[in-house]
């Protein structure tokens, strides 16, 4: 599982994450919500060792990411689908990642088939649409068959069929007992996908609850989210 413990991350005078604590448990899809600039991406980057915490800690199965040997076998992540060398083919991108963790070409070929890119495997990534890059990023996250998955806006650029596919994939992975952390601004899709919600605003936790408890029958996640993250004099005075 993923544990965030009293996490603080500052950039100069700006506090991006402010004493944040929550746990992402296996066997369910945890939705990670918050306005732009709330600290979601920063939190995920700290978990993956891409940013160092100012204080506190972010752990995967009780360890810092940097201490995990063969990390692709433990944690799969998609933070930015465009972070791929544009001159490489999709196959070569996954093959290069796989070699760093002892993952062979058979797994690469199988994943390209699974994500619907087998026919475009030898195309250069610069020829890919945004949706194709998202599928490639999801394949990279799944490459090591990890128990923990962290995905930031994975449905961006996907058509309705692709959105339904990723929804089913994430729910099936959680049903296998994996830990899934999903960040998205699409409330309607989150309502269909997530079992549990963590909502932050201004780097602070504002909700950590099962979906069924936070959104009553007949209610709207969008309404709940907007109420919890509303800006204004009363909200700012409470900070």
The per-residue pLDDT for 233 is: 40
Flag whether 79 is in a domain: no
Which structural domain range is residue 201 located in?
A: 2-74+146-237
Shared domain check, 96 and 37: no
Domain boundary among 145, 163, 190: 145
Low-confidence residues of the chain: pLDDT under 70: 231-239
Shared domain check, 230 and 150: yes
For residue 160, the SS3 value is helix
C-alpha distance from residue 238 to each of 19, 95, 141, 155, 233 (Å):
16, 51, 39, 34, 9
Nearest to 17 by CA among 223, 201, 180: 201
Tally of domains in the chain: 2
C-alpha distance from residue 23 to each of 30, 67, 182 (Å):
10, 19, 13
Pseudo-torsion of CA 47, 49, 51, 52, nearest 10°? 90
CATH number at residue 58: 3.40.50.300
The per-residue pLDDT for 216 is: 85
C-alpha distance from residue 109 to each of 91, 169, 224 (Å):
8, 18, 42
The per-residue pLDDT for 231 is: 58
Distance of alpha carbon 80 from the chain centroid: 10
Structure token digits, residue 30: 């945890």
Domain boundary among 126, 145, 164: 145
9-57 pLDDT tens trace: 999 999 999 999 999 999 999 999 999 999 999 999 999 999 999 999 9
Shared domain check, 208 and 91: no
The DSSP H or E segment spanning 58 is strand 55-60
């Amino acid at each position: 599982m993923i544990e965030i413990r009293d996490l603080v991350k500052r950039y100069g005078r700006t506090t991006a994450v402010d004493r944040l604590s929550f746990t992402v448990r296996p066997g369910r899809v945890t939705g990670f919500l918050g306005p732009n600039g709330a600290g979601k991406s920063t939190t995920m980057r700290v978990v993956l060792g891409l940013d160092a915490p100012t204080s506190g800690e972010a752990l995967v199965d009780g360890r810092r990411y940097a201490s995990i040997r063969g990390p692709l076998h433990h944690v799969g992540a998609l933070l930015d689908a465009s972070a791929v060398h544009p001159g490489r083919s999709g196959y070569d991108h996954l093959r290069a990642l796989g070699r760093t963790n002892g993952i062979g070409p058979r797994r690469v070929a199988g994943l390209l088939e699974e994500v619907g890119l087998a026919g475009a495997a030898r195309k250069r990534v610069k020829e890919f649409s945004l949706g194709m890059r998202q599928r490639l990023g999801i394949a990279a996250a799944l490459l090591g068959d990890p128990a923990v998955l962290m995905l930031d806006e994975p449905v961006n650029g996907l058509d309705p069929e692709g959105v339904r596919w990723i929804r089913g994939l994430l729910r099936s992975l959680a049903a296998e007992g994996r830990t899934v952390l999903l960040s998205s601004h699409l409330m309607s899709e989150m309502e269909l996908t997530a079992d549990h919600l963590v909502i932050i605003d201004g780097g602070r936790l504002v909700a950590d609850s099962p979906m069924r408890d936070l959104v009553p029958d007949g209610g709207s996640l969008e309404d709940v989210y907007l109420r919890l993250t509303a800006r204004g004099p009363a909200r700012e005075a409470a900070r």
